[in-house]
Chain A
C-alpha cells in the first residue's frame, strides 16, 4: 500500500461505492436500516421523555441471551431473539411496577431495573462459564464486519442478502407500516395522555406496544451494532431532527435522512481510519447532530446569534422569529 493521496481518495471515497459495495456498502446499508428503524421509534421516545428506555432495554439483552442459552442450549437466532425480547420486555414491566407501586420515580426505576438485569446477565455468564460460550464483546459491540460474510437469503431465484439485512429490512418496513397505522394514537398519547384516554385510545396498550416494538428493534439491531451503540442510533436521529424542524412529519423524515447520512459518512470514516464501521457511523451521526445544533436555521446557535446581532444593531431590519 502506498501513501499517494489519489489512491487514498480512491480507496476511501470511490471503492466503497464500486468494488467494495458488497462489503462496505452492505455494512452501510445495515447501519442505515438500524438508524432508520431505531430513529423512527426514538422520535417518540424523545417526545415521551423516555430516551433512557432505550438504554434500559438494550442492556437487558445480555441476560436475556444468557437465559435463553441456558434454557435451550441453542445459539440459534430464534432462541436468542426470543430470550432478548423477553428480557427487554421484562425490564419494561419491572420499571412500570417499580415506579407505579413505590415512591421511586420512573428515572430511578429505569436505573434500578436495567442495571440489575444487566448484572444478573454478567453473573449468569460467570457462574455458568463452562456451559455458556457467549462472546460478551459481540453483544456489546456487535459484529457488523461479519454480516457481509454470511450466506445470502434466497427466495426462489431472488437473492435478498445476508439474514441480518433481511431481518432489519423487514423490521424497518414493519416500523413504517405501524407508524402509518397508529400515527394518531401514538401522537395523541404522547402529547396528551389524559385526552387520549378520554377519547377511548388505550394509552396503556399503546405504551406497551411501543416498548415491545422498541425491544424488537433493539434486539434486531444489536447483532449489527451492539447493545451500546444502538442507544446512540435510537436517540441521535430524532434529536438531530428535532433541531431542524418544529413539525412532526418532517421530523420523522429528517431522522431517516440523518440515519442515511450517518451510515454513509460512517462508511467513509471507517475505511479512512480502518476502524469499526458501527462506531464510525455513530461518531459521524454525532457530528451531524453537532452540525444541526450549530447551523440549524430553526434556532441553531449561529443563525440565532446572527438574528440577535441584527436585531440589536437595530435600525431598518425587520425582526424575524420571536412572536
Chain B
C-alpha cells in the first residue's frame, strides 16, 4: 500500500473514544480520547500503574472496557484485527515452551493461514525474511529456551513483522535488551514507520523517549498530552504526568536537562 493510503481515505489507523477500563472496581484508565495519525512512531510513556499496557490490551479487546469504543482504520477493532500486529511483554509467555524460533515467527502467520491448514512454503519464506531483518536467521532452528533476553525480544519482533500489519502495538520492546539490540530495534521501527506503518510503543525510559519517537502519548490513567514530541516533551507536561513521585521526578529533571543540551 502507499505510505498514507489510510490517511488519504480519512480513516485514522486508531481512534479511541471515551475508553474507560477498570480492574474490579478500581479504574485504571479514564475517558481516553485519541485519534492516532497514520505513519507515526508513537511512544506511550507514563509512570508505573499509569495504564500503558492496559491501554494496548483494551484496544485489542484483550480486556473488557467499562465504556467507550475503539476503531481501527474506520472499523470496529474486531473487524480490523487482521491489520493489527502485537508484541506483548516478553515476560508474558513461558520461554521454556517446546517450540523453535521458526515456530514462534510462524505464529505471526496463523491469522492468515486459516483453519485446518499448515504453514506453506510462502509462510516460511516470509518468516525467514522477518528473522533476517532482526538478525536472528542463524537461530531459526534454536529452541526458544536457549535464547538470551535480547534474542527473545527480537524473535517477538520478527513474529510481529510476519503479521504484515499496518498498525502495531508493542509492549516494552526494549526491556532487558542491550544497547546494540535497542539501537537495531529502533532502526527497524523507524523503517516500518517510513513505510507508512503506525506504531504505538510502550516505553518507560524517559531520556531516550525524546529521541526515539515522533509523537508521544503521556499517560497517567488519563491522557495528559498527546502530540508531536517537541510539543509534548516539556517540563510542565512531564511533571503533570509523573507528578508527586519523587524518584520519578528526578528522572524527569534529568530528561529535561538532556533535552536542554
Q: Which residues of chain A come closer than 8 Å to B84, judged between CB atoms?
A: 198
Distance of A201 Cα from B81 Cα, bound (Å):
11
Cβ–Cβ contact A192 & B88, under 8 A = yes
Q: Which residues of chain B come closer than 8 Å to A198, judged between CB atoms?
A: 60, 62, 81, 84, 86, 111
In the complex, the chain B residue whose C-beta lies closest to that of A181 is B116
- Shortest C-beta distance, A183 to chain B (Å), equals 8
Distance of A242 Cα from B84 Cα, bound (Å):
34
Going nearest first, the 7 A-B pairs with the smallest beta carbon separation are A199-B111, A246-B143, A198-B86, A248-B98, A194-B88, A192-B93, A191-B97
- Count of chain B residues near A, Cβ 8 A: 32
Distance of A310 Cα from B100 Cα, bound (Å):
28
Distance of A201 Cα from B146 Cα, bound (Å):
28
Q: Which residues of chain B come closer than 8 Å to A185, judged between CB atoms?
A: 110, 115
Answer whether A192 and B146 are a contact pair too, CB < 8 Å, given A198-B60, A200-B111.
no
Cβ–Cβ contact B92 & A194, under 8 A = yes
Taking each of A181, A187, A198, which has the highest tally of chain B beta carbons within 10 Å of its own beta carbon?
A: A198
Partner of B110, one of A47, A184, A248, A251: A184
In the complex, the chain B residue whose C-beta lies closest to that of A184 is B110
Tally of A-B Cβ pairs under 8 angstroms = 72
Does B107 make an interface contact (CB < 8 A)? yes
Distance of A242 Cα from B96 Cα, bound (Å):
10
Does B253 make an interface contact (CB < 8 A)? no
Answer whether A187 and B99 are a contact pair too, CB < 8 Å, given A192-B92, A195-B107.
yes
In the complex, the chain A residue whose C-beta lies closest to that of B84 is A198
Does A115 make an interface contact (CB < 8 A)? no
Does A99 make an interface contact (CB < 8 A)? no
Distance of A201 Cα from B114 Cα, bound (Å):
10
Give 11 A-B contacts (CB < 8 Å), ordered by A residue: A181-B116, A187-B107, A191-B107, A192-B92, A195-B86, A195-B88, A197-B60, A197-B62, A199-B81, A248-B98, A248-B99
Q: Which residues of chain A come closer than 8 Å to B118, judged between CB atoms?
A: 184
In the complex, the chain B residue whose C-beta lies closest to that of A198 is B86
Does B94 make an interface contact (CB < 8 A)? yes
Task: Please encode chain A, from 193 to 227, with 1 for each CB lying within 8 Å of some chain B CB and 0 for all others.
Answer: 01111111100000000000000000000000000
Cβ–Cβ contact A192 & B107, under 8 A = yes
Q: Which residues of chain A come closer than 8 Å to B146, judged between CB atoms?
A: 323
Q: Which residues of chain B come closer than 8 Å to A194, judged between CB atoms?
A: 57, 60, 62, 86, 88, 92
Does A245 make an interface contact (CB < 8 A)? yes
- Shortest C-beta distance, A171 to chain B (Å), equals 21
Distance of A187 Cα from B116 Cα, bound (Å):
13
Distance of A190 Cα from B110 Cα, bound (Å):
14
Cβ–Cβ contact B62 & A199, under 8 A = no
Q: Which residues of chain A come closer than 8 Å to B61, judged between CB atoms?
A: 197
Cβ–Cβ contact B97 & A47, under 8 A = yes
Q: Which residues of chain B come closer than 8 Å to A188, judged between CB atoms?
A: 107, 110
Task: Please encode chain B, from 74 to 103, with 1 for each CB lying within 8 Å of some chain A CB and 0 for all others.
Answer: 000000011010101000111001111001
Answer whether A191 and B94 are a contact pair too, CB < 8 Å, given A197-B62, A246-B143, A246-B145.
yes
Does B113 make an interface contact (CB < 8 A)? yes
Task: Please encode chain A, from 27 to 67, with 1 for each CB lying within 8 Å of some chain B CB and 0 for all others.
Answer: 00000000000000000000100000000000000000000
